[in-house]
Amino acid sequence: MEFLERVIFASDAELLALWGVGFLMVAGFATMMERRRMKRARIDRVGWVPWFSLFFVSVIIGGGLLALALPGMMQG
């Protein structure tokens, strides 16, 4: 319950950091799925999800959010 209470009453910098970490987790998932797609057994079953694009956009957004949150978290 303490974690939930800290999330509910978190500062703006902490919320930005949480969103940034979430986007980086999405990027990690997209990386795993892209690797899985590249090592597929049947070459004709390509798939339709642009995993690399999702990875790239998620890394840019997640890194930007963490960069914005860092000064606020350093101040306290």
Q: pLDDT by residue (tens digit) across 20-71?
A: 999 999 999 999 999 998 888 888 887 888 999 999 999 999 999 999 999 9
Distances, alpha carbon 24 to alpha carbons 28, 43, 68, in Å:
6, 29, 15
pLDDT class of 3 with cuts at 50, 70, 90: low
In contact, 13 and 69? CB cutoff 8 Å = yes
Residue 32: the pLDDT is 96
Name the residue type at position 31.
T
Total domains in the chain come to 1
CA torsion through residues 41, 45, 50, 54, sign? negative
Length of the chain: 76
**Distance between CA atoms of residues 13 and 35, nearest Å:** 33
**Residue 40: which domain range?**
2-75
